[in-house]
Amino acid sequence: MQLKKKIVVVGGGFAGLNFVRNIDPNLFEVVLIDKLNHHQFQPLFYQVATSQLEPSSISFPLRHIFRKMPHVYIRLGNVERVDTSQKVVHTNIGDFTYDYFVLAMGCKTNFFGNNEIKKHAFTLKTTYEAITIRNHILQIFERIITASSDEKPSLLNMVIVGAGPTGVELAGSFAEIKKNILPRDYHRIDFSKFNIILVEGSKNTLNNMSQLAKDTSRLYLDKIGVEVITERYVKNYDGESLVLSDGTIIKTKTVIWSAGVIANSILGLPSETLGAGNRLKVDRYNRLQGFEDIFVLGDLALMPTPKYPNGHPQLANVAINQAKLLSKNIKNLLQNKSITEYEYRDLGSMATLSRNKAVVDLPFIHFKGFIAWMIWMFLHLMLILSVRNKMIIFINWAWAYFTKDTALRLILKDTSE
């Protein structure tokens, strides 16, 4: 009987998860290494941060996902480096040998070298960070009640940096909460003085989408009371004062940074494999440049093609489809069959800004409003892993739609101090 080949996969995001789920169990055994014990549905992090969904609704334990797949071994740990000559992955929980090595570690927030901003701003790349934002915002509202007149202005300013989908969705959600929910919870706070400020370095909100999406998102944000500042970037933030490139100073205790990402890295790979944004250079089969047994997927992969000479956009759809194709290609490689080049098919992009307000870009049509909002909700529900979680999220959304309320505003913290 032929021994199974061993694949070590780092990362349980969209790319890693879909690769492991589609691998042939008769030919391979897989070790999946991740720092977390669960898969996170990143597109809905902002709804956890704004108290619209519980984190358990969008978090899926890896051991539960693979409970019927005995060829998959889950290991919780941090990857420290790879020895490509010995084919060994070194981690804080031990060493793992491999026949094939798959990197799917995704991205982290990019502060563009400004450690002061990194120290004081909030980020939204994990479920834990979403909960941290939720706790902070709710505590801010509690502090406003008893704050002095000197302290209140900085508590009443919330700044979101970066007007991509995450930024506009956060701003829109907070604006909706400000209008419909907070005045009922905090009767003695004048929320007309609570400012949601969205800062974007380029000329437009949703700058990578269609002109319709750019114009409509700006119009929607203006309509729901979000102050949008464009063509200025953040120079510094010390936890008290945010300084813009034109010298403007905004007093604030809350800065949420969604202004860019940079790929995660691993020690042990040749420097020539690194490309723009810290991404790893791969061929059309997701093979790392210069290697036959190392593959890179999703946000981490830099794959120049005639259509995308600077690499593919860092989207879930790219990660999922690269992973599914690689699971087939790696089987064909083992069986000495031909393999297929990856070609990205752009299915479009979308963003929701608030109740009944969204924008959708499809390859041949762009539209906005209620229909776009319904399509956004349907497609996100379909991407959620379990039927149970789909139902929970749908019920939460339906309840919030008809009541204009949620009951998830819990501050979760250690009270022993």
Non-local CB neighbours of 113 within 8 Å, separated by 6+ positions:
none
Non-local CB neighbours of 249 within 8 Å, separated by 6+ positions:
241, 242, 243
Q: Which tens digit of pLDDT belongs to each residue from 326-351? A: 999 999 999 999 999 999 988 888 99
Using DSSP, state whether 29 is helix, strand or coil.
strand
Distance CA 45, CA 48 (A): 5
- pLDDT band of residue 206 (cuts 50, 70, 90) is very high
Task: Check residue 190 and give its pLDDT.
Answer: 84
Q: How many residues does the chain have?
A: 417
Q: Is it the case that residue 417 has pLDDT exceeding 60?
A: no
Distance CA 46, CA 117 (A): 20
Q: Which tens digit of pLDDT belongs to each residue from 140-166? A: 988 988 888 889 999 999 999 999 999
Q: Are the C-beta atoms of 109 and 18 separated by less than 8 Å?
A: no
Using DSSP, state whether 80 is helix, strand or coil.
strand
Domains and CATH numbers, the chain: 5-109+261-334 (3.50.50.60), 115-259 (3.50.50.100)
φ, ψ of residue 57 to 5 degrees: the values are -70, -30
Q: Which tens digit of pLDDT belongs to each residue from 360-404? A: 998 888 989 999 989 988 888 888 888 778 888 888 888 777 776
Distance CA 351, CA 333 (A): 39
User: Residue type for 127, please?
Assistant: T
CB neighbours of residue 126 within 10 Å = 17
Both tokens assigned to 356: 């009944």
Distance CA 268, CA 244 (A): 38
Q: Is it the case that residue 405 has pLDDT exceeding 80?
A: no
Q: Which tens digit of pLDDT belongs to each residue from 286-322? A: 999 999 999 999 999 999 999 999 999 998 999 999 9
- Does the pTM surpass 0.85? The reply is yes
Q: Is it the case that residue 264 has pLDDT exceeding 80?
A: yes
Distance CA 224, CA 246 (A): 26
